[in-house]
Structure 1
Amino acid sequence: MYKVAHIGLVVKDADQSSLFYQQVLNCEVVNSYQDERVKLIFLNSGGQIIELVQRLQENATEHGTAGIVDHIAFEVEDVFAEMERLHSLGIMPLSDVPRSIGTSLKNFFFLGPDGERLEFMQGML
C-alpha cells in the first residue's frame, strides 16, 4: 500500500490561493517550486499536503483533460524502480524518465484506468 503524498489542485493564481489557505484554513507553506511551465506551492493542512498548481504554460499532452483536482501523488522509495514495475504491468508513464523538482524531489505521472492522473514521488517536501 502506498501513502498519499499530496493532492494537487489547479488554481489560477498560486500566491492568491496560498494566502487564502493560510489565512482561512491555517495551512502552512512547507515548500514551493517554479520553472517556466509551472508554479507549485505545497501547504500542510493538519499533516496532509495540498499542492497548488498554477500552470504558466499549458501542455495538453502532459495534462490531458485534468479538472480542478489535477492529480493524486503517492510516496515511493525509488521512482526508477516504480517506473520499471509499471512498465512490467503494461502501464506507460507519461514521461520516459522521472524528472527532478528542485534538489530533493523526483517524480513521474501515469494514468489510471479512467484517465485520472496519478503521480509517484520520491523525496521529502
Structure 2
Amino acid sequence: MISRIDHIGIVCRDLDDTVEFYRATHGFELCHVEVIESQGVREAMLKVGATDDGAASYIQLLEPVREDSAVSAWLAENGPGVHHIAFGTDDVEAESERLKARGIRPIFDPPGTGSRGTRVTFLHPRDCHGVLTELVTLP
C-alpha cells in the first residue's frame, strides 16, 4: 500500500539554476544529483523535511540530457513545471500488480531501477485522472 508522498517531480531547463532557487528561496537541502541514462535526465533531489517515521519528502528536479527523452518532449510541449507525483510503498512490484488488477496501467512493467537505487514504476496518467504517478520503493 501507499505509505507517503516520496517526492514531487519538477521539470526544468537548467538544473543548477533551479537547484539554487530552491536552496536560496526555501532552504531545501541538496542531497543527491545523478544522471539517469535510461530516462535521459539529470536529476537533483532536494530534501524538504522528515516525517514522523524518519522518512523524508523531496522535490525532484529533472533536466533532460537528450532530445529523445520523454522529459525533453514534455518540456518542449509544456515548459518547466510540475511533472509527476511519487508515492512511497514498501513493495513497488506488489503495489503495481494490485493497481493493474484495478485497470491502472503501469508504464514500466515490471518496475525498473530509479535514482538512488530505488525500484520504480509510473502509472499512466489517463488512468490516474490526468496525473503522471510514480511508485517508489527505497533500497
Q: TM-score range by the shorter chain?
A: 0.7 to 0.9
TM-score, with structure 2 as normaliser: 0.76
Deviation of 1:111 after TM superposition, in Å, equals 2.7
Number of residue equivalences: 123
> Per-residue displacement from partner, 1:8-67 (whole Å, max 9, x unpaired)?
11111112111221123211112222133011101012443111011223327x969797
The structure with the largest helix share of the pair is: 2
Paired letter, 1:56: V
Unaligned runs of 5+ in 1: none
Aligned residue for 1:40, secondary structure, equals strand
Q: Where does residue 59 of structure 2 map in the other structure?
A: 50
CA separation in 1, counterparts of 2:30 and 2:80? 23
Deviates more, 1:74-83 or 1:18-27: 18-27
Contact map agreement 1:29 1:44 (CA 8 A) in 2: yes
Aligned match of 1:104: 117
Moved over 4 A (4+): 62-67
Q: Is the CA contact 1:79–1:108 (under 8 Å) kept in the aligned structure 2?
A: yes
Matched, 1:26 2:27: yes
Q: 1:98 to 1:27 in 2, by over 3 A?
A: same
Partner of 1:4: helix, strand, or coil?
A: strand
Cα distance change on mapping 1:7 and 1:103 into 2, 3 Å:
closer
What is the identity percentage for the equivalent residue pairs of Structure 1 and Structure 2?
Answer: 28
State the Cα RMSD in Å. Answer: 2.5
**Structure 2 unaligned residues grouped into runs of 5+:** 51-56
In the TM superposition, 1:10-21 aligns within 5 A as 10-21=11-22
